[in-house]
Amino acid sequence: MLRTILSALVLSFLVGGPVSADSLYSLETTTLQGEPASLSQYEGQVALVVNVASECGYTPQYAGLEALYAELKGKGFVVLGFPSNDFGGQEPGSAEEIATFCKKNYGVTFPMFSKVVTKAGSEQSPIYTLLGQSGELPAWNFSKYLVGKDGQVIQFFPSKVEPGSEELRAAIAAALGN
């Protein structure tokens, strides 16, 4: 994340003004294991970006997210999990604790990234700054953004929309071109 911020500041200085990302896939972040990760590796795929938390009433959605990922990953679809402690302090754990919890309790294999701030403000992750340009920011954990193959937000789904819901599955199928 620091590298993304520094890159944006350097570029901003060179071009003489603020620079904003135009695609989710133009951003960089850090994996849950602390490794740098470019979201460009998902370009051309449909992504479901979710702010996750281990101690939330919606935490059982991990099972549905993993099932959706397992079913559709070979068809150009990916789930991207971004832990956040923004709502009710429900993601207090370290990266290692989050990874262990997700693997042990839900068998999560979809990509998970380092903890981020989703709420607007100076600490907000560049990822959620970009996603928020859709006019929606998470109001709670397990909010979902469906992002198209071009890295643009297609639709926002609030926490209560389950990963297996007809509404979400129909939107994913449309984005995939099925």
Q: Is the pLDDT reported for residue 5 higher than 60?
A: no
Q: For every residue of the chain, which 3-state class applies, written as one string?
A: CHHHHHHHHHHHHHHCCCCCCCCHHHCEEEECCCCEEEHHHHCCCEEEEEEECCCCCCCCHHHHHHHHHHHHHHHCEEEEEEECCCCCCCCCCCHHHHHHHHHHHHCCCCCEECCCCCCCCCCCCHHHHHHHCCCCCCCCCCCEEEECCCCCEEEEECCCCCCCCHHHHHHHHHHHCC
21-176: in CATH 1.10.10.10: no
pTM tops 0.85: yes
Provide the residue ranges of all domains of the chain, joining segments of one domain with +: 21-176
The active-site residue out of 51, 85, 105, 178 is 105
Q: What is the pLDDT of residue 47?
A: 98
- Whether residue 105 lies in the annotated active site: yes
Give tens-digit pLDDT for 89-145: 999 999 999 999 999 999 999 999 999 999 999 999 999 999 999 999 999 999 999
Give tens-digit pLDDT for 157-174: 999 999 999 999 999 999
